Amino acid sequence: MAQSGKASIKRAKPSYFMSILGVTLVLFLLGIIGVLVINANKIGDYFKENVEVMASLRGDLNQQDSSALMTYVSGKPYIRDIQFITKDEAKRRYLGDGNESWDKILEENPLPNSINFKVKKEYMNRDSLETIKKDLELQTYVSDVKYPEALVDKLHENIRTLSMIFLVIAVILSLVVIILIDNTIRLAMFSNRFLIKTMQMVGATRWFIAKPMNVRAIINGAISGCIAVGGRFPGDYGC
């Protein structure tokens, strides 16, 4: 009879293995999504800071004028990297892109001297670039300022889309974790429903009854978190 009672109690105890496993898998996926979001932002920043803006210059500047203009442009807060590109260097770049030489048609180099620069990521948007363009075009020796407008717009659109997708997935996974933990607590309460009823009959408070189940849920969540972290970064974190 005693053995039968022990077996009944043992069967009444809820199994937390599947809940721990489920929460672990979801947390693991959530961590992967977080890493992807961080890397996506880093890749986006890298591309933003490598878009080149070209300020074409009028005629051939003397050394003094070109140095003064370079000093003026390089002093701007949006400059990350800057180069003065001569006509010869522009021609080498043009031919390096696979274009045909014009030497059989033209005697002079039609490409202008230019100041090519890359801006900081905070300024890599259409409004900031248009402001930069208008400011530089007011300079006497600057004839035109160009940047890849379509690329800038597409870059922002793609980064925004990826960020929204990752955010939605992260929110969904977070809700799944909460639901799994809640279901674990409900399962524990259902498995001990007769014991809970008895405790209510003798005057036990709701907090007194729920406390061990909440503690068990917190412990299970902590175990799941440690396993998920250990699986994502083996050897780097411990619990």
Q: Please compute Rg for the chain using Cα positions.
A: 33
Using the 3D structure, point to which of 147, 167, 191 is the last residue of a domain: 147
**Nearest of 132, 124, 101, 102 to residue 50 by alpha carbon:** 124
Whether 102 is in a domain gets the answer yes
Whether 238 is in a domain gets the answer no
Q: Report the distance separating Cα 55 and Cα 146, nearest Å.
A: 6
Same domain, 182 and 223: yes
Helix runs in 17-77, H state only: 17-48, 63-74
- Cα distances from 109 to residues 91, 94, 182, in angstroms, run 8, 11, 73
Same domain, 143 and 56: yes
Which comes out higher in pLDDT, residue 42 or 80? 80
Tell me the residue range of the domain where 92 lies.
Answer: 52-147
Taking the whole predicted model, whether its pTM rises above 0.85 is answered as no
Using the 3D structure, point to which of 86, 117, 147 is the last residue of a domain: 147
Dump pLDDT digits (tens) for 189-199: 777 778 778 88
pLDDT for 159 equals 81
CATH of the domain at 82: 3.30.70.3040
- Based on the structure, what is the number of domains in the chain? 2
Dump pLDDT digits (tens) for 10-26: 444 455 676 677 777 77
